[in-house]
Amino acid sequence: MMKMTPRERPRDIRKALKLLRRHMRRHAGPLALIALLVVVSASANVYGTYLLKPAVNDYILPGDLAGLLKFLMFMGAVYAAGVAASFGYSQLMVRVAQKIVREIRDELFSKVQKLPLRFFDARTHGELMSRFTSDIDTISEAFNNSFTVLIHSFVVITGTVAVMVRLNALLSAIVLAVFLGMAFVIRYSGRKSHAHFSQQQRHMGSLNGFLEEMVEGQKVVKVFNHEDSAFREFQSRNARLKKAAASAMTYSGILIPLVVSISYFNYALTACIGAFFAISGMIDLGALTSYLVYVRQTAMPINQFSQQANFILAALSGAERIFEIMEEPEEVDRGKATLERTAEGWAWRKPDSEIVPFRGDVRFHGVVFGYQPGHPILKGIDLYAKPGQKIALVGSTGAGKTTIANLINRFYDVTAGSITYDGIDVRDIALNDLRRSVAVVLQDTNLFTGTIAENIAYGNPGADREQIVHAAQLANADSFIQRLPDGYDTMLTGNGANLSQGQRQLISIARAAASDPPVLILDEATSSVDTHTEKLIEAGMDRLMENRTVFVIAHRLSTVRNAKAILVLEDGAILERGSHEELLGQGGRYAELYTGQFEGMSIAG
């Protein structure tokens, strides 16, 4: 019997089908063979039931047992052909379906890798993960089951109706009238169930979101004694979910017994009227036998067809959401200049083959940028970092410090103005080469499942163990790694959950060191470590920063005192520029920040 599921209709079925057709065309031959085998299987079922008529009329009633035995062997061959076809298409469909799903998943992942960070800023991780999980799962379900079941059910329904009309048109009119009533019940119950299932999904999402917040924020909940109020809120949301779920299940639960009852009524009614027709000579006994079996079997393909239609709609909705990502504009990479190692060191090769020595000269020329149109974060920034200089960016939260770092390696493109790298506009440099020349240590560390050595080598996949250890030593991570039971072979999972935040940051810095970058960006790189560890990191970073252009973003002003130039940003503009001593002597914003920070530290101490 049919199981009701909430249907989310695609907004544009034609567009949703476009993605699926593109992949189906690649497997047109196997899919055509599958469709043929499904038709053979369904036709065998329909024809096998029809053979009851000659079996009764030509062999059973006359008492021809020898002929009946031969005829039964023929019927067995028909059903055997159907079984063989069913086995063939089911096995073939599994393989084709998984190939298509793999291709879609590969294409989606490849596309996501090419999208700009702006795309990820506008979406939650859960929203993107659902494309790879639930949306692709619905497509997989449709290919694995719905494709063949729809064809099979359609052939069975049309074939059965055609044979039933041929056996007795008047009796078929009565049966079809009952089926129309069944269809009305299914449609009415389905619409009501869908509305309540939609409410159930909304309340389920609300409850899950609340649970996630409470689990992640348990420490805060306990600190402020909010256990009781949190429980009351949970009860309220849970009650709303219970009410919606009960309504949804009421309609979906009543559908199955209703359809079953109508099917039995239809069968009993057909048997009684058919018996009257047989007595009146309007139908022979063999035809009535076949007819009654058809009536008994018809409810199943109708229910299957309705059920698979729901799955198809869900698959099309998933395909539509996936296709929306496929249509997203990719990162623009028109750059032709490449980064090469020469006998003299790093160098840029322009499209005209001109070689420009790499010096690490980074300059902003009137740069204007905003994450949202009409809301600029940077307002006409002019700055320069000469080769080998350490430039510090300081300022209050939201001043634009991290934004500057994001623009250097073209995570975003400037709205106006330009950024040059050794005199070359960064938009004219191939993205891979631009980013290969810049290593970034972010405030939020991201480690991957694997060993510590593999995580450090992520910055340089070709690094050997000696280079990995050297990078760890530069970041002063070697000492704590050596103390771990498995050393550099210690497995990390869950973003390095088995390490402290400071240790994760040290590995992140070692990863940057392993890439041996000409330019280095440290975005709050020491924000998660204690003062002692910070001094160790600074000592290692000083060695790493030799002969490199370095941008340091820091809230701890003690970490930027030895910078060649300190830039103070406020409200998207450079307010002050100078060395630590020069800025203190000016008595401006930097002096206020520095003095206030250390007064706060003294009070806290």
pLDDT at 224 over 80: no
Summarised one tens digit per residue, pLDDT across range 63-115 is 888 988 999 999 999 999 999 999 999 999 989 988 988 988 898 899 988 88
pLDDT at 197 over 70: no
pLDDT at 199 over 70: yes
pLDDT at 4 over 50: no
Does this chain's domain 337-437+519-531+540-605 share its CATH topology with 448-516? Answer: yes
pLDDT at 190 over 70: no
Residues in CB range of 275: below 8 A, 6 or more apart = 288
Summarised one tens digit per residue, pLDDT across range 242-286 is 888 887 777 666 666 777 777 778 888 888 888 888 888 888 888
Binned at pLDDT 50, 70 and 90, residue 587 comes out as: confident
pLDDT over 70 percentage in the chain? 88
Per-residue pLDDT, averaged over 543-560, amounts to 75
Specify the CATH superfamily of domain 448-516.
Answer: P-loop containing nucleotide triphosphate hydrolases (3.40.50.300)
Summarised one tens digit per residue, pLDDT across range 475-523 is 888 888 999 889 999 998 877 778 887 788 888 888 888 887 778 888 8
pLDDT at 116 over 50: yes
pLDDT at 10: 59
Angle (nearest 5°) at CA 450 between 444 and 454: 85
- Give the relative orientation of helices 227-279 and 285-326 as an angle to the nearest 10 degrees: 150
Name the range with the highest mean pLDDT among 66-75, 176-185, 533-542: 66-75
**Where does residue 363 fall: left (phi above 0), alpha (psi -120 to 50 degrees), or beta otherwise?**
beta
pLDDT at 602: 35
pLDDT at 365 over 90: yes
- Give the relative orientation of helices 169-216 and 227-279 as an angle to the nearest 10 degrees: 170
Q: What is the mean pLDDT of the chain?
A: 82
Question: Would you call 348 helix, strand, or coil by DSSP?
Answer: strand
66 to 50, 52, 63, 72, 362: CA distances (angstroms): 20, 16, 9, 10, 97
pLDDT at 548 over 90: no
Binned at pLDDT 50, 70 and 90, residue 151 comes out as: confident
Select the CATH number that applies to the domain covering 337-437+519-531+540-605 from these four: 3.40.50.300, 3.40.50.150, 3.40.50.980, 3.10.20.30.
3.40.50.300
Domain ranges of the chain: 1-167+307-330, 169-282, 337-437+519-531+540-605, 448-516
pLDDT at 136: 84
- How crowded is residue 143: how many other Cβ atoms within 10 Å of its Cβ? 25
pLDDT at 211: 83
pLDDT at 543: 67
**pLDDT: which is higher, 294 or 259:** 294
What count of Cα atoms within 13 Å lies in the side-chain half-sphere of residue 186?
Answer: 26
pLDDT at 371: 85
pLDDT at 331: 85
pLDDT at 37 over 50: yes
Nearest to 312 by CA among 108, 96, 151: 151
Question: Would you call 552 helix, strand, or coil by DSSP?
Answer: strand
Predicted TM-score (pTM) of this structure: 0.73
Q: Could you tell me which CATH class the domain 1-167+307-330 is placed in? A: mainly alpha
Per-residue pLDDT, averaged over 550-558, amounts to 77
Helix, strand, coil % over all residues of the chain, rounded to 5: 65, 15, 25
Angle (nearest 5°) at CA 286 between 285 and 289: 85
Which of 210-214, 226-230, 514-518, 544-548 is least confident?
Answer: 544-548
